[in-house]
Amino acid sequence: MKGFGLFVKTLAANTARLNSLDAHTGRLTLVLGNESADLDSMVSSLALAYALSPTISAPPIPIINTNRSDMTLRPESTLLLRTTLQANDSGIDALTFIDDFDLTRVVSYGRKHGLDVWLVDHNAPASRQTELEPFVRGIVDHHVDENRCPQAERQIELVGSCATLVAERLRNTLGSVEPELAKMLVAPILIDTSELSSTARRATDKDIEMVSWLVPQVEWAWPSANPVSTDSAVADQESSDEVESLDHVSSTHELYKILDKLKGKVSHLSARDLLRKDYKQWTVGSPAWTVGISSISYRLQKWIKRDSRKQIKKAVEKWVDEQKLDVALVMTHGKAKQGKGGVKVYGRDLIVAFGQSVNEEQQRRVLDGLQRSELLGLGPFFEDQDTGPVFFNQTRTESSRKQVFPAIKAVIESLSI
C-alpha cells in the first residue's frame, strides 16, 4: 500500500478531476462523509479513502460534505486537519468540498462510466443527495441502520465514533499507521466519547481498544520540563487567540482539551450559524416529512441570556421556513452553572418547531410521542409553553442525535398507522 503521506499528495488533484470529467473515462470512487461535516465525519472520510486506496486503480476521492466556506464554523476540524496535512506538505486547500464540483454531473458521468460511493458516518444519502443511492457500494457507520442501500457492503456498529471503525479496518489490513494518521484518528474518538468518559456512557469496548492501539503510534511532544499541570498547560494554549498546530501536544488529555475547547467556542456565532453549523436533514414517513436536527454546543440558558427567548423562537421559525422543514429539532448541550455560584454541570435541552404544513393534531401527537420517549427524558423548560417552538429540558443527557433521530422517526412513522 502507498503510505499515508503519498496518499495525501494525491488529494490536490481531486477537485480538478471532478471538474474535468469530459477528459476521463475511468470508474470514479467517492468517499462521502455526512452532511453535518463534524470532526468524526471529515477524519473518517479521509482515512477510509486511504484504507480503500490499494484496492482501487484510481485513488478514491474523499469528499467533505459541507461548503468550503463553512470550515470557518469548525475551528477544531480546521486545526486537526491543518496539522495532519501540513505534516505531509499539504493543506486544507487540497481537500475537496461538496460545493467544489457539480454532484449532478458526477452522477451523470457515473451512469456512463461507473461510480462507486462509500458512505462514512451515515448509512443512507442525505435527503438532498438521494441521487447517489443507486451508486452506494459500501457503508461504514455507527448510527442506527436506516435499512436503505441494500446492495451495499456494510459495517454498521453502534460505537462511540465512526473513526473507531475506520481505525479497526486499518489495523486489520496494515497492522500500524503513520504517527500523523494515528493522531488524526484518535482525536474524534476522544471528542465523541468525552475522552472515553464512563459517565458520558458513549464509549464502547471497541472505542477503548482502538484508542489503545492508536495512542502508542502517535509522536507526542515531550512534556514541559517545568513542574506545571497538564490542565494549566492546556489553559495557556487556550488563552492564545489561535492555536496554530497540534505538534506541541504531549498527551491524549491535552489533545482532547484543546479540540473540545475550540469546538465549544460558538458564543460569537449568529443564531443562523448556530443552527447550520452541525445540521442534518432527512425525509421520513409516508406521506413524507422533512426533518432537520441541529446540534449546538451551547446550553440553552446561555443562548437565551444572549439573544432572548423571543429572538431564538424567531430564528428557529425562520430556519424552518428557509429549509422547508415539517419539523425541526434543535439540540443544545454543554456545561452550565447550576444556580448562582454553582458548579458547571453537563446537560442537554431541546427545542421543537413545526412547519406551517403540520396541523395542530399532528403537532400534539409528535410532542406527546417525544415526551413519552424514555430515550430522551423530556420535561418543560418553561412553565408557560406559549405558541410556536416548544422548549424542553432533556434529562437523558447521554442521548445525542444518534438517539434523537430514531425517536422522532418512530413518532412520525406512527402517525400513518
pLDDT digits (tens, 9 = 90+) for 57-79: 888 999 999 999 999 999 999 99
The pLDDT tens digits for 11-45 are 999 999 999 999 888 999 999 999 999 999 999 99
Tell me what pLDDT residue 309 has: 96
Q: What is the CA radius of gyration of the chain?
A: 22
253: nearest Cα among 233, 239, 271, 270: 233
70: nearest Cα among 101, 31, 32, 38: 38
To the nearest 10°, the Cα dihedral for 11, 13, 17, 20?
150
Mapped onto helix, strand or coil, the DSSP state of residue 293 is strand
Region 348-371: mean pLDDT is 97
DSSP 196-214: T-TTTT---HHHHHHHHHH
User: 245 falls in which pLDDT band (50, 70, 90)?
Assistant: confident
232, HSE (Cβ side, Cα atoms, 13 Å): 6
The pLDDT tens digits for 215-224 are 999 999 877 5
Neighbouring C-beta atoms of residue 132, cutoff 10 Å:
20
Residue 274 to residues 143, 186, 265, 270, 296: CA-CA distances in angstroms?
Answer: 23, 26, 11, 6, 6
Q: Are 27 and 58 in contact (CB under 8 A)?
A: yes
Distance CA 356, CA 290 (A): 12
Region 247-260: mean pLDDT is 96
Region 256-268: mean pLDDT is 94
The pLDDT tens digits for 84-109 are 999 999 999 999 999 999 999 999 99
Q: Are 2 and 53 in contact (CB under 8 A)?
A: yes
pLDDT at 1 over 60: no
Region 107-135: mean pLDDT is 96
| Residue 237 CB-density burial (10 A; 0-12 exposed, 13-18 middle, 19+ buried) | middle
pLDDT at 349 over 90: yes
33: nearest Cα among 113, 183, 142: 142
Instruction: Answer with the residue of higher pLDDT: 240 or 81.
Output: 81
User: 341 falls in which pLDDT band (50, 70, 90)?
Assistant: confident
**What is the residue-averaged pLDDT of the chain?**
92
- Give percent of the chain with pLDDT exceeding 90: 85
Neighbouring C-beta atoms of residue 97, cutoff 10 Å:
18
246: nearest Cα among 86, 95, 91: 86
Which residue in this structure is represented by grid cell 457539480?
A: 102
235, HSE (Cβ side, Cα atoms, 13 Å): 5
Residue 273: φ, ψ to 5°: -65, -35
pLDDT at 124 over 90: yes
226: nearest Cα among 217, 218, 216, 236: 236
90: which 3 cell numbers?
A: 499539504
Q: Give the bridge partners for 291, in sequence order.
A: 282, 327
Tell me what pLDDT residue 226 has: 43
Q: What is the largest CA-CA distance in the chain?
A: 67
Tell me what pLDDT residue 232 has: 45
What is the pTM (predicted TM-score) of this model?
A: 0.89
The pLDDT tens digits for 307-326 are 999 999 999 999 999 999 99
57, HSE (Cβ side, Cα atoms, 13 Å): 4
Q: Are 185 and 163 in contact (CB under 8 A)?
A: yes
Tell me what pLDDT residue 381 has: 95
Tell me what pLDDT residue 2 has: 58
Tell me what pLDDT residue 417 has: 56
Distance CA 27, CA 95 (A): 20
The pLDDT tens digits for 269-310 are 999 999 999 999 999 999 999 999 999 999 999 999 999 999
Q: Are 399 and 376 in contact (CB under 8 A)?
A: yes
Tell me what pLDDT residue 338 has: 75
pLDDT at 239 over 70: no
Q: Are 40 and 263 in contact (CB under 8 A)?
A: no
Contacts of 25 (CB under 8 A, 6+ apart): 113
CA 399 to chain centre: 15
Tell me what pLDDT residue 58 has: 84
Region 50-56: mean pLDDT is 94
pLDDT at 225 over 50: no
The pLDDT tens digits for 158-202 are 999 999 999 999 999 999 999 999 999 999 999 999 999 988 889
Residue 12: φ, ψ to 5°: -65, -25
